[in-house]
Every structure is written in structure tokens, then in C-alpha cells.
Chain A
Amino acid sequence: MRITCPFCGERELGEFTYLGDAKPVRPAADAGEDVVYDYVYLRDNIAGVMSENWYHGGGCRAWLKVTRNTLTHEISAVEAAAGAGARQASK
């Protein structure tokens, strides 16, 4: 599997670390216990297209949001995570 980092270009899997589902959004400070429990512990187990966080630790050390099909490993999109840098090399 290869991931095309928006800053570095195409790189082998070994340079990246998988974090997990990119969908969960931190609840507001006054959100109820059930909402916080869901955010912290519950994850969908998707067989198909999923939005994931990956870290390019063996390269530019930027966080990336990768859209990947968990059945085929096909990657349809890679973008910089929020705050990961202003300029992207492959654009």
C-alpha cells in the first residue's frame, strides 16, 4: 500500500502510522455523558469507504486525512489534516 502525501508525494506504507476513524468530533464541554462516551469509546467497523487519520512520521511529520476502502485498500483521497501546513507540494 502506498499513500500520496500532499506534502511529500507518494510514499510506502512503512513511513506512516494509522490512528483510526477521522469522523468522531469532540463534543462540546457541556455535552451529556452518553455523547462523550460515544466519542471516546464507540467506533463504527466499516467494511467499505472510510475516512481515517494517518501520521507521516517517517516523512514530513504531518497529519493526513485519508479516504480508504477497508475491503480493497483503494485510496480515493488524501488531504492534509486541519492545521497541517499552508502549502501543499503536489497541488
Chain B
Amino acid sequence: MAEFSWDIRSPLDRALVAGPYGARGDAGVALTEIRNFDLVQVMARRGKAAELAKAAKDRFSVAAPEMPKAVGTADATLIWSGPDQFFVLSKGGKHSIGALAPPFAGSASLSDQSHARVLISVSGAKARAMLAKLSSIDLHADAFAIGAAAATSMDHTSVTLWRGNDRDGLAVFNVLVFATFAESLWHTMLDSAAEYGVAINHSEELA
């Protein structure tokens, strides 16, 4: 019998080829897959929204988002994902599902999404122009400020979108997509960004 070893791989392992793509010259768009994160979905149990809000405040020292926003803490990002629910995005196991189970016991149901979603960071001078082809959300800085978030669709695929802190004075958009749809959305993003030139990469660092 052939030996088989389970090897944790990104769903974009085959599709993502690091390096330049599309138009030559300075890349207008940087597409970076962020790997190896902890992602837990926290959903209030029926009638327990207020208790969940308190438990989240105790755990993270900031109020969890109750409207489409992303809130940064010292070592995690809390991202609104729907009414009475949010994601906890972090690294290194401190806010893994095992770590979050005790503080949220009774107020919320938790679901480990760490390997169920792909996280793509979209940045660069033409990031907004590229995303405008795929998103019906108004991404103008006045309408979608730092920390704004949306549960929405891109190319008929459900995504969680939020704007992180600026990098080099430019907006950074983060997209969480279901793992099984990630390759399809990735190719669509490459097609949309090709005319601006793309810098493709992957990273272990959360933006």
C-alpha cells in the first residue's frame, strides 16, 4: 500500500504562482494570500446577544462589532459577519476555538473556520479599481473607511470583505472566501487585475 501523509496545504496551492502577472511595469495591484491563521465564527445563541456582547468585551477588552465593521485588538481582529455574529481572526492559537470555548460557553455557538476560508489581501494603487469590477459595494474612502466591513458577494460568491489599515498610504482590502470557491475567485481577481499589473505573493503575516 502506498504511503500517504496528510499534508496541510492552502486551497490556492496550485493556483497561486508567486511573482509578477499581467501588464508589465510597476504592479498596480498586490494580491497576497495570508496563510496559517485561526478563524472562529462566533454566533449568539437564541436570545443571548447581550450576554455574548459582555463575554466578548471581557475576552477582548473591546466591544465586538454589532454592525458591519472590523475591530482590531492587540492580537486579533473581530469582523462582523451577520446579525449577532462575528469572526475572530488571529494567529498562534491564543484565540483558537479551544481557547474561546470557555469564555463563550452559554452565550454563543462557535465554529472553527481556520481551514474553511481563504484570506486574500488586496492592495496597491489600483486595488479599488480592480475590486470595483467584482463588488457592488461602494469602496470609495468616504463610503468604506478603514474598519468598514461587509458580508457580500463577488462574482456570485459569498465573501466577507473589510478594509484594514492603510499600507504605504494606500488602502488594503481583505477578502475571506469559502475554501472551495477560492480558486475560482482568485482567477477572477487575476483577470480583473491583469491590466494594472499584479504582484502575487503569499504570506504568514496578518495585515
Chain A interface residues (CB < 8 Å from chain B):
7-9, 11-12, 14-15, 57-62, 80, 83-89
Contacts and interface: CB of A to CB of B under 8 A. Distances in A.
18 contacts: A7-B83, A8-B150, A58-B152, A58-B156, A58-B158, A59-B152, A60-B81, A62-B82, A80-B83, A83-B46, A84-B83, A86-B49, A86-B50, A87-B49, A87-B66, A87-B83, A89-B67, A89-B68
**3 A-B pairs closest in CB distance:** A85-B83, A58-B153, A89-B67
A14 to B, nearest CB: 7
Interface of B is mostly: mixed
A87 B152 contact: no
Contacts of B50: 86
A11 B82 contact: no
B8 to A, nearest CB: 28
B151 to A, nearest CB: 5
A85 B68 contact: no
Interface residues of B, number: 18
Interface of B: 44, 46, 49-50, 66-68, 81-84, 136, 150-153, 156, 158
Contact of B44 (A12, A86, A88): A86
A88 B66 CA distance: 8
B84 A87 contact: yes
B131 to A, nearest CB: 15
Nearest to B69: A89
Contacts of A12: 136
B86 to A, nearest CB: 11
Contacts of A60: 81-83, 151
B147 to A, nearest CB: 14
A61 B82 contact: yes
A84 B151 CA distance: 15
A12 B151 CA distance: 13
A8 B151 contact: yes
A15 B152 contact: yes
Contacts of B156: 14, 58
Contact of B68 (A9, A57, A58): A9
